[in-house]
Chains A and B, each alone.
Chain A
Amino acid sequence: MSITLDSKIPAGPLADKWDEFKAHEKLVNPANKRKFKIIVVGTGLAGASAAATLAELGYQVDAFTFHDSPRRAHSIAAQGGINAAKNYKGDGDSVYRLFYDTVKGGDFRAREANVHRLAQVSVNIIDQMVAQGVPFAREYGGLLDNRSFGGAQVSRTFYARGQTGQQLLLGAYQQLARQIGMGGVKLYNRMELVDIVTVDGRAAGIVVRDLMTGEISSHSAHAVVLATGGYGNAFFLSTNAMACNVTAAWRAHRKGAAFANPCYTQIHPTCIPQADDFQSKLTLMSESLRNDGRVWVPKNPDDTRAAADIPEDERDYYLERIYPSFGNLAPRDIASRAAKRAVDNGQGVGPLKNGVYLDFADAINRLGQQTVKERYGNLFDMYERITGENPYEVPMRIYPASHYTMGGLWVDYELMTTVPGLYCAGEANFSDHGANRLGASALMQGLSDGYFVLPYTISNYLADWLNKPIPGTDHEAFKVAEQQAADRFRQYMSIGGTRSPDYFHRELGKIIWDYCGMERTEQGLEKALSEIPALHEEFKKDLRVTGTGDSTNQTLEKAGRVDDFFELGMLMCRDALVREESCGGHFRAEHQTEEGEALRNDDDFAHVTAWEWSGDPMAPVEHREQLEYEVVQFQTRSYK
């Protein structure tokens, strides 16, 4: 089976494409919607909003989460905000400008039509969330407040203290809970997807494993939506939650869904630096802090004085120096690499010299501690809990960490993967952020996909299936998939080696971070492509999973996820190797300007690389979707 990449972008001028689509798509009439079953996997922003909205429309929805409650999804940890082209500040914002900033922020590697639609519906998201009771920050007159974020010269970011993701997720969760209570959605919690089932090349359903009993079961549907998040935990240390994984997307990939741009990973510039080897995860400090915090390192690498004792003229405010027009709000990829350069130069600060300062002294002098506390209080408290240092008195120390993945399952304009009937939404798909995502755009995309895109596009597929039988879970394809999944988990239990899944995950993460992290080279990637398969072989021979397979066993769950990270790791490195240019989060050391900035190659690489599974994780088949820019002109991305 070979795949074709048809992006199905509607005809017409860019600004009219979404209306054009809606005007001509196939619909399912309200009385017929209840005849269709849709499975939604994942209950984060994209999954919860999709499941709730599809149920409101009248479809039968089965929602699956591997958490105990839909409210736990990692969308909840997003701190800073959500962008929308509301132009409430009257500072020159517009749908076009948000669209343009997003394409430019993505280093001209995103699909124009998708990004424009995202900017269009961004305004509906804010209206919808306010109607649902999301307590966004407000000004004294009672109107909504905005802050600015990296990569934009307008204030378009709506926020709820430092917990915007939490409030938006709870909004979507409440809408989902309403549908669960009314019977529109059937919720399956503590259930993990272990396979996708296709029949005659179409998505027929899923196989799941009950995390409390180990029982494997099948669920069939007319369409399946994966909203299962990103794969940033491939690096082991990341700001993702501990359970975040690639399994759902990877199992779909193995069943025919193309995986696009896996090398586009975002390294977030403002995380708390690693303290020691035992560390299990890294903690993000919101980008919004860069509105008032100033990033600096001592000019002299050997400076051992406390931050406050270093005089102004011996400090290097390197972002303000190199990027005067964006300063501390330079986009994430640029700020991350600048921090790496400072630390590599030996100018790092802290006990391990592995961070840079984010200093609020000036902001506290200018605004007063109370105002700073109002804006960032919970972040400051969190920083103090983790590091034991008080950021009102000493500058924060920060360093980049894996945070978000722009790559993901390839989807067309309708968010359908290369497997008909299998959709992918939110961070799990590749669609809107190109090679780098701007701050406050992940929440926007998750909710856009779930509330305002999928509920429209899915009927275009379903309409043809009205009153036609679909394969049930007694179909042989389900039985085979169940057997394979059961065998796989039995196999992990029976290896009887000496190392835990965490050991392998940590070792794998080190390889991927060293060679496919902030800076990549041909030589390093080749090395990773020999080390990862070797480590994977060791995993298959030396894994140890204790306990049993028929009650809660987190070691066994982890083994399955790590197994899939190995194969993904190979694909990430392969993708980084063939993309012989630097763009956004993908920085190939061989391709940089004299000043050390990313050097794109638009003649040869203005395309999406979508990989097809061949059966051998080391030999995927490459496909390309050429990116056609009708409105935006390529230009060198400059934030100077």
Chain B
Amino acid sequence: MSEKLTYITLKIWRQGGPDQAGQFEHHVIDEISEEASFLEMLDILNEQLIEAGKEAVVFDHDCREGICGTCSLMIDGRAHGPEKGTATCQLHMRKFRSGDTITIEPWRASAFPIIKDLMVDRSPLDRIVEAGGYISAETGGAPDANLIPIPKPVADAAMDAAECIGCGACVAACPNGAANLFTGAKVTHLNLLPQGQAERYQRAEAMVETMDEYFGSCTNHGECEAACPKSISIDVIAVMNADYFKAKFKNRKKLSRT
């Protein structure tokens, strides 16, 4: 049967609203199974708080399968906690030890204002996609799916970038609060594919410039790659930068000649 961890101290950021001052609160979990997920531990804490007549800790979470990108949390100062390539919802208590003190904070980035407690507003990421993170192929009229063969290595590389779950860990981990990994992943996914070529340079330009309106600048620390729950490579930033610079010089009327 499963082992139990005892006496886990949680140091949790509480903040009533975007404009209110926040502070750390301490809570103790007396006993918890190592089979529990990190978020199940917070569920248990919240049950205890409600039982005691106190307000539950607000945190974003949904699928608990590491794919929806809703969960966040800085755990002991690391985005999504200590396990590499793992979102908070897939982190389990077996990665901790009895007696540990765990510090839990919201994503820290000026582009992500706090809504309440551990919940932040990540909608600037949506603004970047709205600026060009798509292929303009309106419904109807698409040619047969096998009309354009895509070499497997290209499709695989596009898929590697497309795995981004949009959680914002890259921004939270970045000392500059940059969103280059997020933006680079989408630019790379679409710009590698033959279907994405028509809008390739326009896309890179629009997305990068929208990103710059909200987020800090990349200085190649690489913290984003280390924090990414999907282990997306910072190579995507190079692809994005290359396309962005080319976009500034390309004569788009002659795109089909290159």
What is A's interface to B at a CB cutoff of 8 Å? Answer: 49, 52-53, 56, 67-74, 76-77, 86, 88, 124, 126-133, 135-144, 160-161, 163, 165-167, 170, 173-175, 177-178, 180-181, 189, 212, 241-243, 275-276, 278-281, 283-284, 351, 381-382, 385-386, 388, 451-452, 455, 498, 500, 502-503, 544-548, 551-555
Closest to A74 in B: B63
Give min CB distance, B165 to chain A, whole Å. 8
Give min CB distance, B244 to chain A, whole Å. 19
Q: Choose the segment among B29-37, B98-106, B212-220, B250-258 that binds chain A (4+ C-beta atoms closer than 8 Å).
A: B29-37
Evaluate contact between B56 and A130: CB separation under 8 angstroms: no
Give min CB distance, A600 to chain B, whole Å. 34
Q: Which of A52, A67, A161 contacts B159 (CB 8 A)?
A: A161
Evaluate contact between A131 and B126: CB separation under 8 angstroms: no
Evaluate contact between B135 and A174: CB separation under 8 angstroms: yes
Evaluate contact between A276 and B35: CB separation under 8 angstroms: yes
Q: Choose the segment among B46-54, B172-180, B234-242 that binds chain A (4+ C-beta atoms closer than 8 Å).
A: B46-54
Closest to B151 in A: A142
Task: Indicate the member of B65, B123, B190 with the most A CB atoms within 10 Å.
Answer: B65
> A144-B145, A544-B50 are known contacts. Are A276 and B2 too (CB-CB below 8 A)?
yes
Residue B90 is within 8 A (CB to CB) of chain A in the complex: yes
Evaluate contact between A132 and B195: CB separation under 8 angstroms: yes
> A212-B115, A452-B139 are known contacts. Are A72 and B149 too (CB-CB below 8 A)?
no
Which residues of chain B in 136-193 are interfacial with respect to chain A, using CB atoms and an 8 Å cutoff? 136-140, 142-146, 149-152, 155-156, 158-159, 162-163, 165-166, 189-190, 193
Cα of A80 to Cα of B211 in the assembled complex, Å: 33
Give min CB distance, B169 to chain A, whole Å. 15
Top 7 nearest A-B pairs (CB, nearest first) are: A142-B149, A181-B130, A174-B134, A131-B142, A131-B137, A547-B55, A127-B142
Give min CB distance, A210 to chain B, whole Å. 11
Residue B8 is within 8 A (CB to CB) of chain A in the complex: no
> A68-B70, A242-B64 are known contacts. Are A552 and B58 too (CB-CB below 8 A)?
yes
Evaluate contact between A76 and B68: CB separation under 8 angstroms: yes
Q: Which of A69, A86, A177, A451 contacts B134 (CB 8 A)?
A: A177
Residue B40 is within 8 A (CB to CB) of chain A in the complex: yes
Cα of A386 to Cα of B40 in the assembled complex, Å: 12
- Residues of chain A within 8 A (CB-CB) of B155 are 135-138, 142
Give min CB distance, B97 to chain A, whole Å. 15
Q: Apart from A67-B70, A131-B145, A242-B64, list 20 A-B contacts with CB within 8 A.
A: A72-B68, A72-B70, A130-B142, A130-B195, A133-B193, A135-B155, A137-B155, A165-B67, A166-B163, A167-B159, A175-B134, A177-B129, A177-B133, A212-B116, A280-B43, A385-B91, A498-B51, A545-B50, A546-B56, A552-B119
- Residues of chain A within 8 A (CB-CB) of B140 are 124, 128
Closest to A544 in B: B50
Give min CB distance, A115 to chain B, whole Å. 21
Q: Which of B43, B64, B69 contacts A502 (CB 8 A)?
A: B43
Give min CB distance, A598 to chain B, whole Å. 30
Give min CB distance, A191 to chain B, whole Å. 13
Cα of A388 to Cα of B136 in the assembled complex, Å: 43
Q: Which of A177, A243, A498 contacts B62 (CB 8 A)?
A: A243
Evaluate contact between B135 and A132: CB separation under 8 angstroms: yes
Q: Which of B40, B63, B121 contacts A279 (CB 8 A)?
A: B40
> A177-B126, A177-B129, A280-B40 are known contacts. Are A500 and B47 too (CB-CB below 8 A)?
yes
Q: Which of B62, B133, B146, B193 contacts A67 (CB 8 A)?
A: B62
Task: Indicate the member of B63, B64, B151, B166 with the most A CB atoms within 10 Å.
Answer: B63
Closest to A49 in B: B139
Evaluate contact between B53 and A546: CB separation under 8 angstroms: yes
- Residues of chain B within 8 A (CB-CB) of A177 are 126, 129-130, 133-134
What is B's interface to A at a CB cutoff of 8 Å? Answer: 1-2, 16-17, 33, 35-37, 39-40, 43-44, 46-47, 49-51, 53-56, 58, 60-70, 83, 85-86, 90-92, 94, 115-116, 119, 121-123, 125-126, 129-131, 133-140, 142-146, 149-152, 155-156, 158-159, 162-163, 165-166, 189-190, 193, 195-196
Give min CB distance, A519 to chain B, whole Å. 27
Evaluate contact between B145 and A86: CB separation under 8 angstroms: yes
Cα of A143 to Cα of B155 in the assembled complex, Å: 10
- Residues of chain B within 8 A (CB-CB) of A67 are 62, 70
Residue pairs across A and B with Cβ atoms less than 8 A apart, 7 shown, are A56-B139, A68-B123, A166-B67, A180-B130, A351-B2, A382-B65, A388-B92
Evaluate contact between A72 and B69: CB separation under 8 angstroms: yes
- Residues of chain A within 8 A (CB-CB) of B43 are 278, 280, 502
Q: Which of B17, B119, B152, B159 contacts A142 (CB 8 A)?
A: B152
Evaluate contact between A555 and B139: CB separation under 8 angstroms: no
- Residues of chain B within 8 A (CB-CB) of A70 are 126
Closest to B139 in A: A53
Evaluate contact between B69 and A71: CB separation under 8 angstroms: yes
Cα of A135 to Cα of B86 in the assembled complex, Å: 23
Evaluate contact between A241 and B64: CB separation under 8 angstroms: yes
Evaluate contact between B69 and A551: CB separation under 8 angstroms: no
- Residues of chain B within 8 A (CB-CB) of A388 are 35, 92, 94
> A127-B145, A280-B37, A546-B55 are known contacts. Are A135 and B189 too (CB-CB below 8 A)?
yes
Give min CB distance, B239 to chain A, whole Å. 15
Give min CB distance, A288 to chain B, whole Å. 15
> A163-B163, A174-B133, A174-B134 are known contacts. Are A124 and B142 too (CB-CB below 8 A)?
yes
Closest to B164 in A: A170
Give min CB distance, B152 to chain A, whole Å. 5
- Residues of chain A within 8 A (CB-CB) of B136 are 178
Cα of A275 to Cα of B63 in the assembled complex, Å: 18
Evaluate contact between B66 and A551: CB separation under 8 angstroms: no
Closest to A244 in B: B62
- Residues of chain B within 8 A (CB-CB) of A86 are 145
- Residues of chain B within 8 A (CB-CB) of A189 are 123
Cα of A283 to Cα of B39 in the assembled complex, Å: 14
Closest to A451 in B: B139
- Residues of chain B within 8 A (CB-CB) of A275 are 2, 33, 35
Evaluate contact between B62 and A174: CB separation under 8 angstroms: no
Closest to A182 in B: B130
Closest to A351 in B: B1
Task: Indicate the member of B17, B83, B150 with the most A CB atoms within 10 Å.
Answer: B150
- Residues of chain B within 8 A (CB-CB) of A385 are 66, 83, 86, 90-92
- Residues of chain B within 8 A (CB-CB) of A49 are 139
Q: Which of A174, A455, A498, A544 contacts B129 (CB 8 A)?
A: A174
- Residues of chain B within 8 A (CB-CB) of A175 are 134, 137, 139
> A135-B189, A174-B129 are known contacts. Are A143 and B50 too (CB-CB below 8 A)?
no
Give min CB distance, A230 to chain B, whole Å. 14
- Residues of chain A within 8 A (CB-CB) of B165 are 166
- Residues of chain A within 8 A (CB-CB) of B68 are 71-74, 76-77, 241
Evaluate contact between B134 and A281: CB separation under 8 angstroms: no
Evaluate contact between B129 and A242: CB separation under 8 angstroms: no
Evaluate contact between A280 and B133: CB separation under 8 angstroms: no
- Residues of chain B within 8 A (CB-CB) of A167 are 159, 162
Evaluate contact between B152 and A56: CB separation under 8 angstroms: no
- Residues of chain B within 8 A (CB-CB) of A131 are 135, 137, 142-143, 145, 195
Q: Which of A130, A381, A552 contacts B145 (CB 8 A)?
A: A130
